[in-house]
Amino acid sequence: MRISQVTYAQLKNTGNYENERAECTVEVGEGEDPKAALLVARRFVRAGLGLGPSRDDIEKARELLEDWGDEDMVDWFGSTGRGE
């Protein structure tokens, strides 16, 4: 089985019993990692709602970069703690 797309959605409470919802669907190309696509979708949605990356997002990004062997990016994430 091959995953061809991933979707991430989040609901943000804006107060007074009101919410704001954002959703993003990312196509997963042949040979691409669905986990990376989901991470991209999640970061895009959270940014759209004015939310910063969570610690979980940062850890997942570091793990993916380590798996890909990109030590420069792993060091960059590790040195700033937030990838900034």
Domain count, the chain: 1
Q: Does an H or E element contain 37, and which?
A: helix 34-48
Spatial CA neighbour of 26 closest among 3, 47, 10:
3
pLDDT in tens, 11-55: 999 999 999 999 999 999 898 889 888 888 888 898 889 887 777
Structural domain boundaries enclosing 63: 5-80
CA distance 40 to 75: 20
Q: Which pTM does this prediction carry?
A: 0.63
